């Protein structure tokens, strides 16, 4: 067996040497023996890894771009071929399969529970071990780990980056350093498709030499990794553990120029010209049986005896509602989000053209959560408005109050985005938030605000902030 170089691991401030002799610690099998190899397939037995390179015969790997690394990793017992003499390098690899191999390389295993859907799974201990080490973050899999699902290049990048940071203090410093950069410049043409939060992991996976891009200059975060790609990445992972990265050089190499779309909410708030927004908002026409424009509607309300209370109450309600409604994170959204949101619901609400009645509001809350999780949405939003933008409209015999404002929003993750919206860019649109005062129904059993929200009416389309 070939002994690979030593690695170091850090636990609780103490260090110890870890000698990684892969053939001995992973598969001590005699030549010609077969084994139920869960790290490749939970149902197909594999030919045991040969102990000598000369004995390796994988008919479909000859001439493959990954041939050398495949043969090395098979020789060391990290991964094996199939009984028919093939390696199937272009087949995909699952989350469980990759996790089990990486966990073996890190020598981690745990009985600590992590995901409910890995209980009793053949890779349960290894997956739990990676969760315990922080290599797999449970918050990134709100619907369960789905161990038999194909693993993506992004998932691999995050796992190997966290693994390196766990096993090497030098790489840990690099990962933390990338996290402090105002902006990260990656050598991939599809960087705009990446979540800002994921970029430090991708930068580490790339700078360590583990994960590269394609010939067309793309990274393809959502592409399923093949067995060949995963094998090469794991071989490079072993090599990277023994590298000595120079933090200052890597930070300089990956340092990007800050741009508006990478501003935090607080930074964007300082950038926004609020007075320009308010001036523009006042010029939009309103639909009202009472007044011709917003200023006249506001003047009318100002003359009412209850105006001061209503104005403060409405404005406070609207800003609180928008803050909760539009700031979502699929990794954490759940009952707590519903509890906060439903406080603002006590009347019929129109969502995506459909009106939800009193007894359907609970279903609507569940829909918000389901959509956020299914679309893997992470959005952050802020609302620019002013009490003077309160106005009144009338439809039939019913009075509606509206608070006008400009909504700024950025999606850093998600699918099914609004028309014209791209990930990782700030957009703005002007909206009217429609309220109904004093409306409630006996079916509403939760604590609710004074005002009920009827709908959000879009005045202008989304426009990229520049």
CATH number, domain with residue 425 = 3.10.450.50
Boundary residue ending a domain (202, 222, 254): 254
User: In terms of pTM, does the model score above 0.85?
Assistant: no
Amino acid 360: pLDDT: 92
CA distances from 45 to 69, 149, 173, 252 (A): 22, 20, 41, 48
Whether residue 332 sits in one domain with residue 218: no
Helix, strand, coil distribution of the chain in percent, nearest 5 = 40, 20, 40
91 within 8 A of 227, measured Cβ to Cβ:
yes
Q: Which of 254, 279, 298 is the last residue of a domain?
A: 254
Please check whether residue 1 lies inside any domain of the structure: no
> d(Cα 259, Cα 441) in Å, to the nearest integer?
48
290 and 211 within one domain: no
Please state, in angstroms and rounded to a whole number, the distance separating the CA atoms of residues 193 and 184: 14
User: Residue 57 has what pLDDT?
Assistant: 67
CA 105 to chain centre: 26
3-state secondary structure of 40: coil
- Distances 404 to 79, 251, 321, 363 between C-alpha atoms, Å: 61, 44, 13, 28
Do 199 and 213 sit in the same domain of this protein? yes
Residue that finishes a domain, picked among 199, 219, 254: 254
- Cα 392 to chain centroid, rounded: 40
For residues 186 and 242, state if they share a domain.
Answer: yes
54 and 187 in a single domain? The answer is yes
Asked if residue 390 is part of any domain, the answer here is yes
Q: Look at residue 334 in the predicted model and tell me its pLDDT.
A: 94
SS3 120: coil
Reading the chain (466 residues) residue by residue, the pLDDT tens digits are: 222 222 333 333 332 233 333 333 333 222 222 222 333 333 332 333 333 443 556 888 889 999 999 999 988 888 888 888 899 999 999 999 999 999 999 999 999 999 999 999 999 999 999 999 999 999 999 999 999 999 999 999 999 999 999 999 999 999 999 999 988 999 999 998 888 889 999 999 999 999 999 999 999 999 999 999 999 999 999 999 999 999 999 999 999 987 888 788 888 988 899 999 999 999 888 766 555 677 777 777 777 766 666 667 788 888 889 999 999 999 999 999 999 998 888 888 999 999 999 889 999 999 999 999 999 999 999 999 988 888 877 655 556 788 999 999 999 999 999 999 999 999 999 999 988 766 556 677 888 777 778 899 999 999 999 8
Backbone angles phi, psi at 75, to 5 degrees: -60, -40
* Structural domain for 109, as ranges: 7-254
Tally of structural domains, the chain: 2
Residue 222 Cα distances to 200, 282, 343, 372, 411, angstroms: 17, 43, 37, 18, 17
Residue ranges in 255-290 assigned as alpha helix (H) = 265-271, 274-283
The confidence score (pLDDT) of residue 289 equals 54
Cα–Cα distance measured from residue 424 to residue 270, given in angstroms and rounded to the nearest whole number: 19
Round to whole Å and give the CA distance between 459 and 162: 45
* Amino acid 196: pLDDT: 84
CA distance linking residue 354 with residue 352, whole number of Å: 6
Could you tell me if residue 209 is inside a domain? yes
């Amino acid at each position: 067996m070939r002994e690979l170089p030593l690695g170091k691991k850090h636990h609780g401030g103490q260090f110890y040497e870890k000698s990684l002799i892969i053939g001995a610690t992973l598969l001590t099998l005699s030549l010609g023996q077969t084994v139920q190899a869960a790290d490749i397939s939970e149902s197909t037995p594999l030919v045991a890894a040969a102990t000598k390179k000369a004995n390796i015969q994988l008919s479909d790997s000859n001439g493959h771009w990954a041939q050398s690394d495949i043969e090395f990793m098979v020789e060391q017992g990290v991964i094996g071929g199939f009984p028919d003499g093939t390696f199937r390098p272009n087949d995909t690899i699952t989350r469980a399969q990759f996790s089990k191999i990486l966990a073996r390389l890190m020598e981690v295993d745990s009985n600590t529970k992590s995901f409910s859907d890995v209980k009793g799974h053949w890779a349960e201990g290894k997956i739990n071990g990676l969760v315990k080490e922080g290599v797999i973050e449970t918050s990134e899999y709100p619907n369960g780990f789905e161990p038999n699902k194909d693993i993506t290049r992004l998932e691999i990048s995050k796992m190997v980056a966290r693994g390196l940071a766990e096993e090497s203090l030098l790489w840990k410093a690099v990962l933390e350093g990338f996290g402090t950069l105002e902006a990260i410049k990656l050598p991939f043409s599809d960087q705009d498709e990446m979540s800002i939060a994921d970029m430090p992991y991708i930068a580490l996976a790339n700078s360590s030499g583990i994960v590269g891009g394609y010939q067309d200059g793309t990274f393809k975060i959502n592409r399923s990794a093949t067995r060949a790609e995963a094998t090469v990445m794991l071989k490079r992972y072993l090599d990277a553990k023994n590298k000595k990265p120079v933090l200052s050089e890597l930070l300089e190499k990956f340092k990007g120029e800050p741009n508006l779309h990478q501003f935090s909410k607080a930074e964007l708030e300082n950038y926004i010209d609020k007075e320009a927004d308010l001036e523009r908002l006042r010029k939009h026409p309103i639909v009202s049986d009472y007044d011709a424009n917003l200023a006249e509607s506001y003047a009318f309300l100002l003359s009412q005896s209850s105006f001061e209370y209503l104005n403060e109450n409405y404005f406070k309600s609207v800003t609180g509602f928008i803050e909760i409604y539009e700031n979502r994170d699929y990794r954490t959204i759940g009952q707590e989000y519903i509890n906060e949101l439903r406080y603002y619901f006590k009347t019929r609400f129109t969502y995506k053209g459909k009106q939800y009645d009193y007894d359907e509001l609970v279903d609507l809350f569940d829909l918000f959560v389901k959509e956020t999780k299914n679309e893997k949405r992470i959005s952050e939003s802020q609302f620019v408005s002013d009490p003077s933008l309160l106005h009144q409209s009338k439809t039939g015999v019913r009075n509606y109050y509206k608070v006008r404002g400009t909504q700024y929003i950025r999606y850093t993750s998600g699918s099914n985005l609004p028309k014209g919206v791209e990930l990782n860019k700030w957009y703005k649109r002007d909206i009217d938030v429609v309220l109904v005062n004093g409306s409630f129904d006996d079916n509403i059993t939760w604590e609710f605000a004074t005002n009920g929200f009827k709908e959000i009416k879009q005045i202008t389309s989304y426009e990229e902030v520049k």
